[in-house]
Chains A and B, each alone.
Chain A
Amino acid sequence: MSRAGWIRVSVVVAAVAAVELLCQGGIITRFTMIPPSEMVVALAGILTSGRLTPAIVRTLRIVGIALAASILVGFVLGALLHALPRVRRTVDPLFATYYAIPIYAFYPLFIVLFGLGDVPIIIIGFLLAVVAMIVSTLNGFDRIPRALLKTARIYRMGRVRTALQVMMPCAAPYIFTGVKLAIAYSFIGVIGAEFIMSGSGMGYEIAFAYNNFDNKVMYPLIMLVLVLVTIINMFLHFWEMILFERRRRG
């Protein structure tokens, strides 16, 4: 690992240790926060007891559905819009300002429309993720150098071959970025929606524990979500490095 990497690990460890000390020393009371060491122990207990496994599975399932839908729909829409520049010009302003819209504000609307089940949560996760995927797909196709498309024509490749053998590999890094963003956004959307109002899932369990002053459940769960998402992001980051390493200059 690099020097910066070691320092980073030390910084994180020191921060956690500081919190531990503040909690143990009573400067942060138990009503506010339990020590990180206790969080880990409690989390192990929760995970082995299986009490919250249904909630965890449910959240992951909903994220999975929202994610798959957003990647699929986002890619197809992105490719279509790329092929239809006129339509694209018209919807471009929407994309430019999309993430300024507080999507959560639509959640109550969806609850009234679809009830308190999975559907409104899936929609929130999907809506947050899909536009990142569309924009990344468009971006990827935009950045295909003209010389490469001309080369495909010199080889007299048909549309399908050009798409599969030139356009897709060329746009792949950008599409991967889209997938990464979609994963982050669908987690943010789903857990956020569960947290605001729902009857199950990890977000709900956190809110429930908070309302019952049950820090021994709440903190481990928060930790679980943060660690889980961070691990997924790190994994994707390394995978990306390996996939596209040979294509980077330097």
Chain B
Amino acid sequence: MVTRSRDIAVLIVVILLIWQGLYQFTGTGLLTAPLDTFARVLRLLGTPNFWPHLHESASAFLRALAIAVGAGLTVGMALGAHRLSGEVAEPILVALYSIPKVTLYPVVLLFFGIGMPAKVVFGAIHGVVPIAIFAMNAVRNLNPIYLKTAQILKLGPWATARKVLLPATLPEIFTGLRVGFSLTLVGTLLGEMFGSQRGLGHLLMAAIGLYRMDTIMAITLLLVIFAITINSILLVVDYRLHRRV
């Protein structure tokens, strides 16, 4: 744990040094330096009209995540429990996972119109597939001996679900949720970068037009820090869950 924290610290320092080096190398105000960018992030957070955008992105993301998790878990578990359906659906899910989903965005826009619903749907489309795939595999690969043991021990259906099914499938399902979280974020943001009037993605695109490098870098940094922080927390939980099995 100690060495790991040290590794991470070293990594962060190295990345910041490379960034600073690039800044000095490219010269004249093309990039902004790490320190200036952090300062700019703080200033952005202090700007009143930044908050509605942040709020817009956050609520789009959370709604998309809720849909992705709900639909992904339901579909995934159902497919895992019913072997034939799982067999039918798996290649389709895998195919959906590796297509460039961005091409579907215009379709989503035409069906839902520009605005919050389209963003939410598009974010959910990204997240739902991995969550479903992982949940399906978690249920499908459940060792039948666990269920037999539960029967021998005369556990009722509720106790079986809570004491056997849940702990046995949770690690895989959680991995799916972690991946789904990241992809939902990617999807929501992509949705905001195209044909949207609000949100961080929109601010990012607007800054290109204004050639505001400092804003671009500050928002990018903010998003990256957010994504990495949450993912790291999820990774730690993921690791703990997997170590138990």
- A and B interact physically: yes
Spell out A's residues near B (CB within 8 Å): 2-4, 7-8, 11-12, 31-33, 89-94, 96-97, 99-109, 111-113, 184, 187-188, 191-192, 195-197, 203, 206-207, 209-210, 215, 218, 221-222, 225-226, 229-230, 233-234
A–B Cβ pairs within 8 angstroms, 11 of them: A90-B7, A93-B7, A99-B179, A99-B182, A101-B223, A101-B228, A108-B220, A112-B211, A187-B100, A196-B193, A218-B106
Contact assessment for B194 and A196 in the assembled complex, using a CB-CB cutoff below 8 Å: yes
Q: Pick from A112, A203, A207, A233: contact of B216, CB below 8 A.
A: A112
Tell me what chain B mostly uses at the interface: helix, strand, loop, or mixed.
Answer: helix
Total A-B contacts with CB atoms under 8 angstroms apart: 152
- Indicate whether B92 reaches chain A with its CB closer than 8 angstroms: yes
Chain A proximity mask over B54-92: 1 for CB below 8 Å, otherwise 0: 000000000000000000000000000000100111011
A112 touches B7 (CB 8 A): no
Q: A113's contact among B30, B87, B181, B230, by CB below 8 Å, is which?
A: B30
Tell me which residues across on chain A come within 8 A of B88, comparing CB atoms: 4, 7-8, 11
Residue B189 contacts which of A91, A99, A105, A233 (CB distance < 8 angstroms)? A105
Count residues of chain B with CB under 8 A from any CB of chain A. 59
Q: Which of A8, A102, A215 contacts B92 (CB 8 A)?
A: A8
* B11 at the A interface (CB under 8 A): yes
B→A interface (CB under 8 Å): 3-4, 7-8, 10-11, 14, 30-31, 84, 87-89, 91-92, 94-95, 98-107, 109-111, 179, 181-182, 185-186, 189-190, 193-195, 201, 204-205, 207-208, 211, 213, 216-217, 219-220, 223-224, 227-228, 230-232, 235
Report chain A residues within 8 Å CB of B91.
8
The answer to whether B227 touches A102 (Cβ under 8 A) is yes
Known contacts A11-B88, A102-B185; is-contact A222 B98 (Cβ 8 Å): no
Shortest A177–chain B CB gap in Å is 12
A112 touches which one: B4, B10, B101, B208 (CB < 8 A)? Answer: B208
For B3, what are the chain A residues with a Cβ–Cβ distance below 8 Å?
Answer: 89
CA distance A195 to B224 in the complex (A): 22
